[in-house]
Amino acid sequence: MIDDAERKMQFLFALRSKGVTDTRVLTAMERIDRGAFVRGVFASRAYEDMPLPIACGQTISQPSVVALMTQALDVRPRDKVLEVGTGSGYQAAVLSQLARRVYTVERYRRLAQEAQQVFERLDLSNVTAIVGDGSHGLPEQAPFDRILVTAAAEDPPGPLLAQLREGGIMVLPVGQSDTVQHLIKVTRTPDGLDYEELRPVRFVPLVEGLGKE
């Protein structure tokens, strides 16, 4: 029988073996208990490196993917960050350890509300979950230093690009949901937008409009 400390060590070791080298990201991943964002029978599998089902037919991403996306985003302590696709709230909670302020937008009211409850339970006061169609971004809080999208679009949504501050970075999966998607890093430079392809990934699609639940 392995105890919590041993399980956490194995979890961090698995992240390192997948290429997560940024110690700030590893520390954030160590601090945020993924088990708090997973319910029912799946809670016992929270420290395995796999996606797990959550409410509304959605998923909490694989921890190594959360860590690698966070690493690619290169968040600095003064940054204001937008996440699109709250899901369980786990990714936003990890970002809250690295940024000044995090806003996360989710099209399912139920998921946004449940994530907000976990943020409050964990005393994460710099992260807020908002119900909305995140493909429009969050104009009332723009511009953002960093934007992370956790659902795949065919192309980077225009409103999100427009809400990225100069020097800002956006990381998002791009491609059709049933085919190969790629994780893309977009940097807004003084001369325009710079695109870098990072790795193949698989995410649920970015869907327009609000969810029914």
Here the tokens at position 135 are 């493909």
Q: Which of 128, 100, 125 is nearest to 115 (CA)?
A: 128
Running DSSP on this structure, what letter comes out for residue 153? B
Q: Is 198 in the site for ligand SAM (CB under 6 A)?
A: no
What order do you get walking across the sheet with 192-201 strand by strand? Answer: 127-131, 101-106, 80-84, 144-149, 164-174, 181-189, 192-201
Q: Rounded to 5, what percent of the chain is helix, strand, coil?
A: 35, 30, 35
- Which tokens is 210 given? 């609000």
Distance between CA atoms of 84 and 92, rounded to whole angstroms?
Answer: 9
- Is position 114 an interface residue for ligand SAM (rule: CB under 6 A)? no
- Tell me the C-alpha to C-alpha distance, in Å, between residue 79 and each of 86, 106, 120: 18, 21, 21
For residue 160, what are the contacts with CB-CB under 8 A and spacing of at least 6?
82, 84, 135, 137, 147, 149, 170, 172
Q: Does residue 59 belong to the site contacting ligand SAM (CB under 6 A)?
A: yes
Residue from 64, 88, 96, 181 touching ligand SAM (CB under 6 A): that is 88
Under rule CB under 6 A, residue 61 binds ligand SAM: yes
Q: Does 206 bind ligand SAM (CB under 6 A)?
A: yes
203 near ligand SAM (CB under 6 A)? yes
Q: Which residue number, 103 or 108, has a Cβ lying nearer to ligand SAM?
A: 108
Q: Which is nearer to ligand SAM, 194 or 208 (CB)?
A: 208
Pull the structure tokens for residue 25.
């990201």
User: Taking CB under 6 A as the criterion, which residues in 134-173 touch ligand SAM?
Assistant: 134-135, 150-151
- Give catalytic residues, as residue numbers: 61
Residue 85 interacts with ligand SAM (CB under 6 A): yes or no: yes
Nearer to ligand SAM, 1 or 179 (CB): 179
204 binds ligand SAM (CB under 6 A): yes
Considering the complex, what minimum distance in angstroms separates the CB of residue 77 from ligand SAM? 21
Segment 4 to 43, residues that bind ligand SAM, using CB under 6 A: none
* Shortest CB 183 distance to ligand SAM, Å: 13
Contact residues toward ligand SAM (CB under 6 A) are 58-61, 84-85, 87-88, 90-91, 105-108, 111, 133-135, 150-151, 203-204, 206-208
